[in-house]
């Protein structure tokens, strides 16, 4: 269980067998008939409730306090859902293929990666997105006090070091040498 100034959450092992039906969340509006990533919310000034979050394209699941300290970010199988626990509503969703997330207290932010690039979410939304750093996958990723480092994969089966400044998203290195989208 984790808490912040307004709410608590608990990751459940499955759908509860009794009580009110869980609220269903899906980025594409489908799949709500099956069990996803199940989270119970306990807002400080509202009734507790359960959400069932359908997965994206990865096996990464995590719940994080949003940098605004009002919402939560629920990552279900790589799909991120920004949830207001008091109104029981979806504020936004993004991702689909998120593979990792790091809380960055020095920036009051959360860093997300899909194995190709990084995005930093701050209190008011997306702060920056890096250039593409890998053709397909990263390894040895570490969040340091002022940067994130790791290795990005190149199509010739080699790994190349990269570094990203957390203050502005400026990235150097990496395994991607193709055109920028």
- Tell me the mean pLDDT in the region 89-114: 96
Q: What is the pLDDT of residues 162-177, one digit of tens each?
A: 999 999 999 999 999 9
Q: Given this model, what pLDDT does residue 5 score?
A: 52
Q: Which residues of 90-102 are buried (b: 16+ CB within 10 A; e: fewer)?
A: beebbbbebbbbb
Q: Is the pLDDT of residue 102 over 80?
A: yes
Share of the chain above pLDDT 70, in %: 97
Percent helix / strand / coil, the chain, rounded to 5: 0, 50, 50
Q: Given this model, what pLDDT does residue 181 score?
A: 72
Domain borders along the chain are 2-98
What are the CA-CA distances from residue 4 to residues 30, 44, 147 (Å)? 31, 10, 25
For residue 95, the Cα-to-chain-centroid distance in whole angstroms is: 7
Q: Given this model, what pLDDT does residue 30 score?
A: 82
Q: Residue 68 and residue 4: Cα distance in Å, rounded?
A: 11
Q: Given this model, what pLDDT does residue 1 score?
A: 42
Q: What is the pLDDT of residues 21-52, one digit of tens each?
A: 999 999 988 878 899 999 999 998 899 999 99
Q: What is the mean pLDDT of the chain?
A: 94
- Tell me the mean pLDDT in the region 117-141: 97
- Tell me the mean pLDDT in the region 113-118: 98
Share of the chain above pLDDT 90, in %: 89
Apex 59 CA angle, 78 and 27, nearest 5: 35
């Amino acid at each position: 269980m984790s808490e912040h100034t307004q709410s608590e959450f608990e990751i459940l092992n499955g759908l509860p067998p009794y009580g009110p039906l869980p609220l269903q969340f899906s980025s594409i509006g489908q799949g709500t008939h099956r069990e996803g990533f199940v989270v119970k919310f306990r807002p400080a000034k509202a009734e507790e409730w359960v959400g069932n979050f359908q997965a994206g394209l990865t096996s990464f699941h995590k719940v994080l306090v949003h940098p605004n300290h009002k919402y939560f970010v629920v990552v279900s199988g790589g799909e991120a859902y920004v949830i207001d626990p008091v109104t029981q509503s979806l504020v936004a969703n993004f991702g689909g293929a998120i593979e990792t997330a790091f809380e960055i207290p020095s920036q009051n932010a959360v860093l997300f990666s899909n194995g190709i690039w990084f995005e930093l979410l701050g209190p008011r939304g997306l702060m920056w997105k890096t250039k593409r750093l890998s053709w397909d996958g990263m390894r040895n990723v570490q969040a340091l006090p002022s940067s994130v480092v790791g290795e990005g994969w190149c199509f010739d089966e080699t790994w190349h070091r990269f570094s990203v400044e957390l203050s502005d998203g400026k990235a150097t290195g990496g395994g991607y040498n193709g055109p920028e989208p």
